[in-house]
Amino acid sequence: MSAKKTVLITGASAGIGKATAETLLADGGYTVYTAARRVEKMADLESRGARPIAMDITVDERVIAAVDRIKDEAGGVDILINNAGFGLNGAVEDTPIEKARHQFEVNLFGLGRLTQLVLPGMREKKAGTIVNITSIGGKVYSPLGAWYIATKHALEGWSDCLRMEVAEFGIDVVIVEPGAINTEFDEVLIGPLMEISGDTAYGPTTQQFAAMMKRSMENDASPPSVIADTIQRALRAKKPKTRYAAGKYAGTMLFLRRWLSDRMFDRFIWRFMK
């Protein structure tokens, strides 16, 4: 069994997940398992020493098989980085409820099931770290983001409850809240958004929102490495913080949400979009 700590990173085929895998592989102190549906997108990580796993987080058999494999090969997961997720944007009225349910299956229930499966091993060792990638969307809000933001608000509260439940077993639960990050997450967001609400009564707001997202990704977004470095810092900490916010706009948005009234924050968001 390896003396290195064993890390499992979900959603590692691109963006924050891939950047985190690259950072931890370069660190040298970890055995890094990377999980995603698109296993071919992780070939470059495998060449650097990662151990890719093809996994759809919503398919229970795949999730169980992944955890069993890591237990057989490395003795279990010491650090779980729950990064897999996607953003579904569109007006509440326009969004098919089946799509909304799938958003929760991926961003909350799939993550929750994987966490359930690694916890017994962590409890047995009386050590472990669970890093949940939420978003500043777990604390703030915008029009057209209701279903996605609802999953992130839910994950924030879920993580707080989990942290209290597992603390006595020596397990840390850390929340990382990215701001605007330049990943393919946003490249694949605008198309579905326009398909759902581009030609409805919410079309004008949708056009504004899409333009804002495009502008942000082209000019303002931080690279995924910013979040990868934040995760690495949390893992190195003897006593990690419960929350880390990082990336463009993260600190500003969270500060304004804390101090502005709801109506004032509403006005700020509309002005920001325009």
CA distances from 133 to 72, 139, 206, 246, 259 (A): 27, 13, 26, 11, 24
CA distances from 119 to 30, 78, 114, 170, 175 (A): 19, 9, 9, 11, 17
DSSP-based three-state secondary structure for 34: strand
Q: Which of 148, 202, 244, 249 is catalytic?
A: 148
Respond yes or no: is residue 148 known to be catalytic.
Answer: yes
Q: Are 63 and 55 in contact (CB under 8 A)?
A: yes
User: Side by side, which strands form the sheet with 128-133?
Assistant: 51-54, 30-36, 5-10, 79-82, 128-133, 171-178, 243-246
Give catalytic residue positions: 148
